[in-house]
Structure 1
Amino acid sequence: MRTAARVQAAIEILDAIAASAREGGAPADSLFSTAMRERRYAGSKDRRAIRAYVYDAIRAVRSAPVSGRAAMLALADGDPELAALFDGSAYGPAPIAPDEPRAETGLAAQALIDLFDSLVGEDEYGAMLDRASLDLRANRIKAAAADLAAHFPEGEAIAGVPDGWRLPPETAAAQHAAYADGAFEVQDAASQYASAALDAAPGQAIVDLCAGGGGKTLAIASLTGDGSDILACDTNRARLQQLPPRAERAGATRIETRLLNPGQELDMLAEWRGKADRVFVDAPCSGSGTWRRSPELRWRLTPARLERHLADQAKLLAIGADLVAPGGKLLYAVCSIIAREGRAQVDEFLKQNPGWTADGGYLPGGIGRAAGHGFLLTPAHDGCDGFFLARLTRAC
């Protein structure tokens, strides 16, 4: 493909991504893959170049643009070489007209920025859209962090994560034979901090209430040396079905999965009520802490969608608390830097549940900042995805 044709392809893909963001449809990665399947004539170099154009535009533009062309023009205004490709050549974009609309650039819409936790300063904004490193977690059931160092000598240890190893962005670690053997998982440091903060131990009964594909479930199994019974739950069948084969590969033999019907969670967990030593509530959220990996999430969040997340979080906190045994602990986590999803949710929970207290001291030194009754992690401060964590203990 000619370079101009690559730009036009990126514009068309951005059209689909912007429309999907407004409608709450498929994510950008999925749409990009579909677009490339439809363009079988595009070679590997073409695909890499088109992807770079698409994601550079997504990172630059603060909210869903009126068109993919408007997004690319916003990039072209600061890149004369890119602007020159709008030349009207065959399969390329039409020449730029002086009065054409440009998408607005920046971190996010101001109304969204205003929702950030007060700990997040303007000096942190740039790191929120930087390309993320590739973090690995050694699976203690089969391997150790020293093995990761041997397999990937170009990496480095992650502060405060004994099983973690950090590699440059887009390293093809999952193609290594050790991955197929279950020696490690790809997992951001923030998720590793969260899994460790649960304070799980062998012999405990543990519930992962929002397990999804099981990344943190497997981390908990690793931390306990496959020594605890873990119930992994979710309402999304497709995501939960990913866990059993992952657990088999990891050698985690004591994980049970349970698909829950929305609105019937407590009934379907009746035998666990008041019995769990540890409950992990990794609640659905805005994903505002993961913009480094999924920058189009800035284009997706609307007031209505945020309100739905807030309602789900409060409901899941209540369900999780009902499962915890006296003296047991619940870890609430969201990959968000929005205060209403983090500290405000825990403040309200503790107000409504006087028999619970907030723990402290469960993160490594220097990691996270106190945010109400929990801790906030951010890319700039902690070198990982943005997360809010709060560990709560039920009175005996």
Structure 2
Amino acid sequence: MRTLLIIGFVWPEPNSSAAGGRMMQLISLFQQQGFSIVFSSPAQDSDFMIDLAQYSVLKRSINLNCSSFDVFIKELNPTIVLFDRFMMEEQFGWRVAENCPAAMRILDTEDLHCLRLARQNAFKEKREFQISDLLVEEVAKREVASILRCDLSLMISEFEMELLQNIFKIDSRLLYYLPLLLHTDQISDLEKSPSFEDRKDFLFIGNFLHVPNFNAVQYLKETIWPLLKKQFPEAILNIYGAYPSQKVLQLNNVKEGFLIKGRADDAMQVVKNSRVVLAPLRFGAGIKGKLLEAMQCGTPSVTTSIGAESMHANLSWNGFIEDNPVVFAEKAIVLYQDEKLWLQAQKNGIKIMEHRYLKPLFEGDFKERIGELLLNLEQHRLNNFMGELLQHHTLRSTKYMSKWIEEKNR
């Protein structure tokens, strides 16, 4: 039986973040192709990690900078190794290449980290983000090198694929578009969904370990919510998210209707019971799981151009996309109060999901791409000379740094 080894940055927590849900989708796709799955990670176990055994996935803890991994991977001899984010490829990619050179190496980027960080730095410096910022972003050098060293990188954003090809001149054959995926039965049946009248309150939801989410909540607190509350005094905003810090919790203000609720026991139910999702993201990358989840729940949203980036193509958004905070607040109130507009926004969300995220749209082509690469891996690598060059040099520098750390730790 063919084996897929996943090297995870963390253990999957699908109820805490879109990244955890994405990983479980990848596991399902490879299991459908007949792969047995081993999920490994150097991360500590968490209280909210999924029980992988329930999904017929073998769990294995691994150590950073330790030759025990070499023994482990040689014995496993996987057909494919999937790195969860470029940091895992940096740590373990050279060991995979050295011990299992015939194994296909796939990188799941999650989002383009260098894009998110370059935008974040521009925001901190109070200036407009420029595409040229990517060329001086230190993480870009590491991330692009990782993409080049791998046989295939999975991308969830078409915008980011274009950046890699146009700015960094990455060969399109090294990239594969695979967004967050939905089963047909995951798209809300509007007739069974809570009605406009049965829903109440605004909602923000997002993992607070993710800096763009905390920044969005600060933006709501300091700028948008006072504007909205002035025009709509009875408005309530419920803020949910995993791993809220003390900085997040202290933003709670009952008098202002700004309520920090922490982790949701059932995120989908919380979204379904809300009338409008607010997501004023000022920097970030990838596509936003919270906004796709809102569509699933039949809940319209108001977000920014960063929030909606690469999510809807030329289809109408399920609500409004606004970057001006005054207009953002106004549109949020209109969407909350106008049932006809709200129902149309809900339908727009269904259309986006049906045309952009249904699993049947992607699973067949993905299987073909993996099969084709496995059959032609040697030629594929010959065509990727820059990747082979980086593999040659970085394998050595990373290898000896890791061995030095291993010796130092003894």
Q: Which category of TM-score, normalised to the shorter sequence, fits these structures?
A: under 0.3
TM-score, normalised by the number of residues in structure 2: 0.27
